Amino acid sequence: MEIKLDQVKGIGPSMLRILRNHGLWSTYDLVLNYPKRYEDFSITSLDRTQDKETITTHATIISELKLNRYGKTGFVSFKVKILDKTIDVIAFGKAYLIKSFSKDEEVIIKGVYHLFKRQIHASSVIKLDKKVPLKPIYGIEGIHDKTMMNVMETIFQNDQVSIYETIPKEFLDKYKLLNRKNAYQMLHLPKTIEEIHQAERRFKYEEAFYLQLRLQSKQQVHFIRPPKTYDIDRVRALIGTIPFELTADQKEAVNDIFRDFKKEYASYRLIQGDVGSGKTMVALIASYAVITAGEQVSLMAPTELLANQHYQYFKSLMKDTNIALLTSKTKNKSQLKEDVLNGKIDLLIGTHALIENDVQFKNLGLVIIDEQHKFGVNTRDELILKSNSKDVIYLTATPIPRTLAMIAFGDSHVSVIKEKPKHRILIETKYITKDRVQEMYDLMHSAILRKEHIFLVVPAITSEHVTDNIERVYEEIKNEFSAPIFVLHGKLPYEEKEGVMEKFIYTPGSILLSTTMIEVGIDIPTATFIGIYAAESFGLSQLHQLRGRVGRGNLPSFCYLVSTKEDVERLELLSKTSDGFQLSEYDLIARGPGDFLGVQQSGYLKFDFLDLVTDYPILIEAQKNVSSLLLKPDFKTNSMYKHLHKFVLESLKI
C-alpha cells in the first residue's frame, strides 16, 4: 500500500510542492527521508569526524574532573565515553565545571575534536536532560522541523505507510534487532537517544547484510576450469635462483595463490604489498607456475615506464620463458600480436595496449593487474574478459585497511605482505616547517655530490592557493643547485612525460621536481632523497607511497616533510612509523574510504549508517550470515527469501 502525500493530514499545497521538488511523492518516500540530526546532538561515530572539526556530542563522564594550573585561568580535564570511544576532554577557563559535574554523568559537549590526540577542546559542557524530547532536524528549506514531526506522527499513528521487512527473521531474532517499521518510527519520533542508537544498529546491519549479499553472490559465479598442473620442481628451481630469501609473508602469499590454482574454478586474489615488500616477486613466481602448466600470462601496468621495468625484471629471472613487451613504442606490433595468438609468447607485459581488440591469446591462464586502483573498472574487465577460464591477481602497493579489502574482494581472497625483505634499509623521515628548508637543501647538496637521485614533490603545477607549486619551487631550486633539474607534471604530453623520466633515471646526481605522478612504480636504486612540500596537503597513505620512491637499494635514504602549517600530530606520526597499514587506518578515519576504493568504481561503498572502522564486527557477522543463507538448499525456492533471491539476480544482472 503506497499512500500519496496529498492524502496525509497536515500536508497542504505549498508543503506538497516543496516535498515533490525534493523527490518525495509518497509516505514511503517521506519515511525513508530520515532526520539529518537531532537538536544540537551529533550522535554519529567520531570515526566520521575529521581532525579539528567542531562537533557537538553526547558523552558519559568516566573519570573525576581535574583542575590543571595553566596561565591565569587554568583548564579542567576529564575523560568521557562517546559510544565505544574513550576521549580526553580539555576545557580552558572553566573551573566551575569541577563543582557542576561528576563521574558517571551524561553531558552534551561542544568543541573542537583533535583526531590524532583523541581529545576534545570543549567550548561548552551542559547537562543532558533526558526528559526533554529529542527534536529531529530535517533541514528541508521552507518546512519547519516541527511540521515534519507532526506529519510523521500522523503517518505512523494512522498506519499510512507500508514498510516491508528486508532482513530474514532468523537474523532479527539472533541479534535482537528492531523490525524495519519500528526502526524508522524511532528515527523520526525518538523518545530517547537510546532509541536512535537501536534504530541505527538495525540499519547498520541491513547495509552490511546487503553489501555482503551483493558481494558474495558475485563471488559465487565461478568459471569452471581444471586445476592448474604446474611443474612444482621447475618452480622450486626458479625460487632457488632468487638472490635473497623470500619473507614469511611472501611465502604465504605464494601458497595462497597456489591453493587457488588447485581449485576447479578460476579464482581472483588481491596481493597487498606495503612499499618495498616484494609483491612483484610473488607475481613473478605465480606467472612462472602458470607458464609451466602450458598457459599464457598477461601483466598490465599503468605506465610504460613501469611496464618496461617489469619486463626487464621478469626477463632477468625467467630466462627460459618467452616474454614480450607491448606498449605504444613497441615495433612490429602485428608480428607480436600474431605470436601471442599462436602461443609463442608465454608472458605479455604491457599497458592499456593489452585491452585492444586485436590482442588475442591462444590460452590465457592468468591476468595480473599492477596498481589495480589506477585502472577504471571497465579497463580491468576488458582484459579479464579475454578469457573466462583464467585466474586474476590484483597487485597494489597502497595498503588498504582490512575492512575495505574485505568489502572489495572478500575476506578469503586477500593476501597481505607487510614484512620487508631484510636487505631493505629504513628510510629516515623528518618533519620540518618551511623556515627550516635550508636544512633539507644542505642534505640534497651532499646527495648530488654522491651522484644520487633526488625527488621533490609539490601538490600543484601553479595555484594562487598553494604557494609550493611547480613554478615557485623551480625558481627557488634553480638558484640553489647547479645540478640538472627535470620537471614532470600531468599537463605534459604522454611521450614527453616518459622522456623526462628516462632522462632523470639516466642522469646521476639530478633532481626531479614533480607533482604526485611519481607516487607509484618507479624503482631507482640510487634514489636516496625525497622532499615533499606542503605535506599537510596529502593523506598519510599518499605520503607513505611517495616516501617509497626512495630506499629501493642499499643506500641510506631520507624523506623530508615540509609544511607551511602546524600539522605536527599527523606528520610526526609518519616520521615515527614505516607501517603503511597502520597509516592507512588513520587515513580511513580522517579522510574516508574514497581515497582507497573510489565510490564510483566500486558502486556500493557509500553508507548512511554503517561505519567501516567501528562496525567491522557487524560486517563479519553479516558475512557469516549471508554465506550460510546462500548455502541453503531452498534459498532459490523458499518464499521467505524471494526478495533476497531477486536482489541477487539484479546484482548479477541476470
- Per-residue pLDDT band at 654 (split at 50, 70, 90): very low
Identify the band that residue 161 occupies on the pLDDT scale cut at 50, 70 and 90. very high
Q: Is 472 or 116 the better-scoring residue by pLDDT?
A: 472
Q: Are 69 and 223 in contact (CB under 8 A)?
A: no
What value does the mean pLDDT take over residues 201-215? Answer: 88
- Beta-ladder partners of 59: 107
Give pLDDT tens digits for 577-594: 777 777 777 766 666 555
% of the chain surpassing 70 pLDDT = 84
Q: Would you mind telling me the total number of residues written for the chain in this entry?
A: 654
Q: Which domains does the chain carry?
A: 1-39+144-160 (no CATH), 46-127 (2.40.50.140), 232-417 (3.40.50.300), 428-577 (3.40.50.300)
Work out the pLDDT band at 37, boundaries 50, 70, 90.
Answer: confident
Per-residue pLDDT at 595: 47
User: What's the count of helices (H) and strands (E) in the chain, helices before strands?
Assistant: 23, 21
- Three-state secondary structure of 212-252: HHHHHHHHCCCCECCCCCCCHHHHHHHHHHCCCCCCHHHHH
Is 80 exceeded by the pLDDT of residue 604? no
The Cα 224–Cα 218 span in angstroms is 15
Name the strand (E) or helix (H) holding 573: helix 568-576
Q: Which residues of 24-42 are buried (b: 16+ CB within 10 A; e: fewer)?
A: bebbbbbbebbbebbeebb
Between 268 and 204, residue with greater pLDDT: 204
Strand partners for 515: none
Q: What is the pLDDT of residues 235-244, one digit of tens each?
A: 999 999 998 8
The pLDDT assigned to 600 comes to 36
Give tens-digit pLDDT for 349-379. Answer: 998 888 888 889 999 999 898 875 554 445 5
Identify the CA nearest to 531 among candidates 552, 563, 572, 562: 562
Do 384 and 332 contact (CB within 8 A), yes or no? no
Q: Are 519 and 546 in contact (CB under 8 A)?
A: yes
Single pTM value for the model:
0.66
**Residue 337 burial (C-beta neighbours within 10 Å; 0-12, 13-18, 19+):** buried
pLDDT at 216 over 60: yes
Joined together, the cell numbers standing for residue 512 give 626531479
Complete edge-to-edge strand list for the sheet that includes strand 268-273: 323-326, 347-350, 296-300, 364-370, 391-396, 268-273, 414-417
Q: What is the pLDDT of residues 395-410, one digit of tens each?
A: 887 777 666 666 666 6
The pLDDT value recorded for residue 599 is 35
Distance CA 162, CA 81 (A): 38
